[in-house]
Amino acid sequence: MNALFKRRSIRKYIDKEVSDADLELLLKAAMCAPSAGNEQPWEFIVVRDREIMKRVSEFHPYSKMLHQASAAIVVCGNRSRQVYDRDYWQLDCSAATQNILIQATDMKIGSVWLAVYPEPDRIKGAKKLFGLPEEVIPLAIVSLGYPQEEKKMADRFKQERIHYNIWGGKKGME
């Protein structure tokens, strides 16, 4: 649980490479995520090429940290693995992305979630840059590197957002 509370978006990195073994562990964590009907619709692209990472900023306005990143993981949903008549890939791939972020924190690797889906221009740009087939949709890009910045743990707990039994229900109400 400690990594859950310590996780923060890290956008500044030192010049130190994230190892292949560490990247594999992050991907194993991603694939431990729950998925609807055990669909496991995820696909991942590991990006180490700095020129490719820099080109992300051509379609993603908040991706400048990739210029310093050691690596990135593009999290995609493969709709051809769909079991149900509804799209659950966004939920499943979001859980996988969160697992990457938490595992990275536990490994003292800085990370930040760059949303691609549902922004049409970002989706189109990512599909083109990474050569994605039609049925594969990019959800997010996770920037990775060893932190140059340190952020304090954020306390985001808000008691007033908790309801018991019904909307507006208070703790201890019968």
DSSP string, 22-71: HHHHHHHHHTTS--GGG---EEEEEE--HHHHHHGGGT-TT-GGGGT-SE
30 located within any domain: yes
Which residues are within 8 A (CB) of 94 and not within 5 positions of it... i.e. 6 or more apart? 139, 140
Give me the domain span that covers residue 110. 2-161
Q: Number of H helices and number of E strands within the chain? A: 5, 4
Could you tell me the two tokens for 42?
């995820």
Number of structural domains, the chain? Answer: 1
167 located within any domain: no
**Domain holding 72: CATH number?**
3.40.109.10
104 located within any domain: yes
172 located within any domain: no
28 located within any domain: yes
Task: Give the integer Cα–Cα distance in Å for 104 and 26.
Answer: 7
114 located within any domain: yes
Residue with tokens 């972020």: 101
Could you tell me the two tokens for 117?
């889906």
pTM of the model: 0.94
* Tens digit of pLDDT at every position of the chain (174 positions): 698 899 999 999 999 999 999 999 999 999 999 999 999 999 999 999 999 999 999 999 999 999 999 999 999 999 999 888 889 999 999 999 999 999 999 999 999 999 999 999 999 999 999 999 999 999 999 999 999 988 888 889 999 999 999 999 988 764
168 located within any domain: no
171 located within any domain: no
